[in-house]
A and B are shown apart, each in its own frame.
Chain A
C-alpha cells in the first residue's frame, strides 16, 4: 500500500498532500464537506426560489470535492485535474463574487462564493491562490528524479 505520509506521489513528482499540503488538503476537505451539505440542503428544500445560486452552490461543492481528491491522490493525472479544479475555483469565486455585488437581485440566497466568500472569512478567495502556488511549487521536474 502507498504510504499516506510519503513525500513522493504515485509515479514521480512530489506528493501534494505532505508538508504544508497536508493543511491545504484539510481545508479543501472542510470546504468540500460544508459546500456539499449546503448545496444538497438548498437543492432539496427550495430549489425553485433561487435556481441560479443553488446550481452554483452545487457546482462549487463539486469543484471542492474534485480538488480534494486530486490533491490527495497526487498522481500525474490527478495533478492536472487538481490544476483545472483549482483554476475553475479561482475563476468561479471571482465571477460569482463580482456577480453577487453587481446583480444582487439574482443572488437572494448566498453561495459559498458570494461576496468573494465573505461568509466564510474570505477563505474561498485565498484558497485557490494558495492551491495554485502549491501546485506550482510541487510540480514534477522533467529529466530529474523527483525530489522529496
Chain B
C-alpha cells in the first residue's frame, strides 16, 4: 500500500472533520471550500482504491482479503453518502454529518493500513 498517500488521506480527513465541526459550532452551512476538500479527498481515496485493487490482483495480498475489500468499498462510498445526506439539511447539522463522515473516513483509512499490514 502507498503509506504516504494513506497518511495524506488521514490528515485531509481530519482537517475536513475539524473544519466541519467548527462550521457546526458556528451554525454555518457547509462551505464551498469544504466541498472542494471533500472532492479532493474522494479523488485520493479512489486512487488508493485503484492502487489497492491492482496490488491485490497482481498477487500482493493482505492477510484477510475479504475484510480488506469490505473496508475499501466502505471507504470509497462513505464520503459521497455523507455529503449527500449532509447537504440536504441546510443548517449546522449538515456540517455535523460531514464531521461524522470525515472522522469515520479517517478511522477507516487507519484500519485499512492495519488490515493490509496484518
Measuring CB to CB, which residues of chain A are less than 8 angstroms from any residue of chain B? 4-5, 18-23, 25-27, 29-30, 33-34, 37, 41, 44-45
Contact = CB atoms under 8 A, between A and B. Distances in A.
By secondary structure, the B interface counts as helix
Contact of B67 (A5, A18, A22, A41): A41
A5 to B, nearest CB: 5
Nearest to A20: B93
Interface string B53-67: 000000000000011
Interface in B75-118: 78, 81-82, 85-86, 88-91, 93-94, 96-97, 100-101, 104
Nearest to A21: B93
A102 B46 CA distance: 43
Q: Is the interface of A mostly helix, strand, loop or mixed?
A: helix
B4 interface: no
Contacts, number: 45
Contacts of B33: none
A129 B104 CA distance: 20
Q: A26, A29, A34: which has the most chain B beta carbons within 10 Å?
A: A26
B93 A19 contact: yes
Given A37-B74, A41-B66, A20 B96 contact: yes
A25 B89 CA distance: 12
Nearest to B85: A26
Contacts of A34: 74
